[in-house]
């Protein structure tokens, strides 16, 4: 170990070295293309928000135990944003009178939650958010499926690898009411539904009785959860699936009465995407319809639908299937100008400038050194062409240009150097 201890990074954060940054940038470019293909505009909010913004609606667990909360110098409680939707709601509410609805916006930025890091979960992560506000039709909900399907296809994820599971909270609430489950117990029941796959049947039933369900209610709820055609009772879901079909996204979407989602503010459609082999147990993305959020942050009532996808899990899934593109690590420099000797430095500086003026990405070796060392440097960095002005070239006003891929080297008049380099790059 080094004698000096390097100061560590904050737990659960990542250092994006160039090779990792290349992956993040690729993901960003891909998301941008997908969102823009559907006419969505990019936006961003502040990283810091007041605790109040989340206190009402995001859910107790999220705010009390998972949010980064601290007091600023003025004594206000500040939160590192754990999600974007409340910020979006505020931004919309502030300009509600001047925006043209429906609004279609997307974003990709950092979020924090204070948890123990593990596979697929960190304390700082990036999230793609896509939302449409001002329409409350099932067809709008279906557009989210189309966006997600478009993204999956673009990165090579097939319906055999990932599926979006969809449910509707109104449908579930109607049944909860029919079964005599009081409104205040529905949150507990939703949590219970959510845990079904994670517990043994016996434990799960016992847990159900603990939250006040009787045997008859449990029996009926199990029948509901196992009914793949339950969606047909819901006019909303029937229209939703019809639209999903028309949008060509059906193969990625399935109905699942067990999907409830943890966030309090969802009121209608809810969904999450999962990796089908089950090796990556976390949701790839999740979202739903929120009818009351705008009013809750002080705006006029306005319905919205949206989803969020974290970079950590999607990267794991893409890695698993070998779908992260190669060649992401290509060095930006197309040509390196070597420095023959101390007194040749002006030639190298001028040549670099000339080549840049010709539109090339040029990296100059910053000082005179043994040529072997300089060529080795270019080779290690993967720079495809090296240009050099030695004494002979200086005398004849020419440039030696070497193709590092083929090994071919030619001497050309200085005015033709850029052209020759472009030939090598082609």
Partner RNA sequence: GUGGCUGUAGCUCAAUGGCAGAGCACUUGACUGUGGAUCAAGGGGUUGAGGGUUCGAGCCCCUUCAGCCACCCCA
Q: In angstroms, give the least distance from the CB of 100 to RNA.
A: 27
Long-range contacts of 343-351 (CB under 8 A, 24+ apart): 344/368, 344/389, 344/390, 344/391, 344/394, 347/389, 347/393, 347/394, 348/389, 351/387, 351/389, 351/399, 351/414, 351/417
Shorter beta-carbon distance to RNA: residue 138 or 287: 287
Question: Which residues does residue 105 pair with via DSSP β-bridges, in sequence order?
Answer: 41, 131
Q: Does 73 bind RNA (CB under 7 A)?
A: no
C-beta closer to RNA: residue 66 or 250: 66
> Quick one: 243 or 268, whose CB is closer to RNA?
268
Radius of gyration of the chain measured on its C-alpha atoms: 28
Near RNA by CB under 7 A: residue from 141, 272, 311, 354: 272
* Site for RNA contains 426 (CB under 7 A): no
Q: Any contact of residue 86 with RNA (CB under 7 A)? A: no
The answer to the question of residue 312 lying near RNA (CB under 7 A) is no
Residue 62 touches RNA, criterion: CB under 7 A: yes
For residue 411, give both structure tokens.
Answer: 């001497």
Q: Residue 188: which region, alpha, beta or left (left: phi > 0; alpha: psi -120 to 50)? A: alpha
Q: According to CB under 7 A, which one of 30, 102, 262, 323 is a site residue for RNA?
A: 262
What character string, x for contact with RNA (CB under 7 A) and - otherwise, covers 232-251? --------------------
Please, which residue, 127 or 168, has the CB nearer to RNA?
127
Tokens 């539904």 locate to: 193
Reduce the DSSP state of residue 199 to 3 states and report it: coil
Nearest to 124 by CA among 263, 287, 25, 10: 10
* Interacting positions 140-179 with RNA (CB under 7 A): none
Considering only residues 283, 333, 417, 421, which one is a binding residue for RNA as defined by CB under 7 A?
283
Q: What's the Cα-to-Cα distance from 378 to each of 34, 335, 338, rounded to whole Å?
A: 36, 9, 9
User: Per CB under 7 A, which of residues 187..216 are in contact with RNA?
Assistant: 191, 194-195, 198
Residue 138 or 384 with smaller CB distance to RNA? 384
User: What is the C-alpha separation between 139 and 90, in angstroms, rounded?
Assistant: 25
Which is closer to RNA, CB of 91 or CB of 412? 412
Q: Tell me whether residue 103 or residue 400 sits nearer to RNA (CB atom).
A: 400
How many of the chain's residues bind RNA (CB under 7 A)? Answer: 60
Instruction: Name the maximum alpha-carbon separation found in the chain.
Output: 97
Residue 28 three-state SS: helix
Contact 235, 29 (CB under 8 A): no
Measured in degrees and rounded to the nearest 5, phi and psi for residue 127 equal -140, 135
Least distance from RNA to the Cβ atom of residue 16, Å: 14
Question: How near is the Cβ of 375 to RNA at its closest, in Å?
Answer: 3
Q: Which is nearer to RNA, 179 or 371 (CB)?
A: 371
Of residues 113 and 414, the one with the C-beta less far from RNA: 113
What dihedral do alpha carbons 253, 258, 262, 268 form, nearest 10°? 60
CB 164 within 8 A of CB 133: no
Name every residue whose Cβ is closer than 8 Å to that of residue 380 and which is 6 or more positions away in sequence: none
Q: Which of residues 353-372 bind RNA (CB under 7 A)?
A: 370-372
Q: How many CB atoms lie within 10 A of CB 219?
A: 12
| 268 lies in the binding site for RNA (CB under 7 A) | no
Which span sits near RNA by CB under 7 A: 24-32, 170-178, 221-229, 255-263?
A: 255-263
Binding stretches for RNA (CB under 7 A): 1-3, 5, 8-9, 11-12, 59, 61-62, 66-67, 82-83, 111, 113, 115-121, 127, 191, 194-195, 198, 261-263, 272, 281-283, 286, 308, 310, 340, 370-373, 375-376, 379-380, 386, 388, 390-393, 400, 402, 404-405, 407, 409
């Amino acid at each position: 170990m080094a004698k000096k201890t390097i100061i560590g990074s904050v737990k659960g954060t990542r250092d994006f070295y160039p090779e990792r940054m290349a992956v993040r940038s690729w993901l960003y470019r891909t998301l941008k293309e997908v969102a823009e293909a559907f006419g969505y505009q990019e936006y961003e909010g502040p990283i810091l928000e007041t605790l109040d913004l989340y206190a009402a609606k995001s859910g107790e667990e999220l705010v009390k135990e998972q949010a980064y909360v601290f007091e600023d110098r003025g004594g206000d409680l500040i939160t590192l944003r754990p999600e974007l939707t409340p910020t979006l709601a505020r931004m919309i509410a502030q300009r509600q009178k001047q925006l043209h609805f429906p609004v279609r916006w997307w974003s990709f930025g950092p979020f924090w939650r204070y948890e123990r890091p593990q596979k697929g979960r960190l304390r700082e992560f990036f999230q793609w958010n896509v939302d449409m506000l001002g329409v409350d039709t099932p067809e709008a909900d279906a557009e989210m499926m189309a966006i997600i399907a478009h993204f999956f296809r673009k990165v090579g994820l097939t319906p055999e690898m990932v599926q979006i599971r969809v449910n509707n909270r109104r449908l579930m609430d109607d049944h909860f009411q029919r079964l005599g489950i009081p409104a205040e117990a529905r949150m507990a029941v939703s949590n219970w539904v959510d845990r079904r796959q994670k517990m043994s049947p016996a434990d799960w039933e016992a847990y159900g009785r603990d939250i006040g369900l009787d045997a008859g209610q449990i029996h009926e709820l199990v029948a509901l959860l196992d009914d793949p055609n339950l969606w047909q009772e819901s006019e909303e879901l029937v229209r939703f699936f019809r639209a999903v079909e028309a949008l060509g996204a059906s193969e990625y979407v399935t109905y699942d009465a067990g999907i409830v989602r943890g966030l309090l503010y969802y009121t209608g459609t809810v969904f999450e995407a999962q990796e089908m082999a089950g090796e990556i147990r976390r949701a790839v993305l999740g979202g739903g319809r929120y009818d009351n959020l705008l009013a809750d942050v002080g705006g006029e009532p306005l319905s919205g639908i949206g989803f969020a996808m974290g970079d950590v899990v999607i990267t794991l899934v893409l890695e698993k299937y070998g779908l992260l593109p190669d060649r992401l690590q290509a060095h930006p420099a197309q040509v390196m100008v070597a420095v023959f000797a101390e007194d040749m430095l002006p030639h190298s500086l001028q040549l670099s400038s000339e080549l840049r003026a010709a539109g090339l990405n040029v990296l100059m070796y910053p000082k005179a050194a043994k040529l072997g060392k300089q060529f080795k440097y270019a080779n290690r960095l993967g720079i495809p062409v090296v240009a050099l002005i030695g004494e002979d070239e200086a005398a004849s006003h020419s440039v030696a240009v070497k193709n590092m891929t083929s090994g071919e080297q030619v001497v050309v008049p200085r005015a033709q150097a850029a052209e020759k380099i472009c030939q090598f790059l082609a």
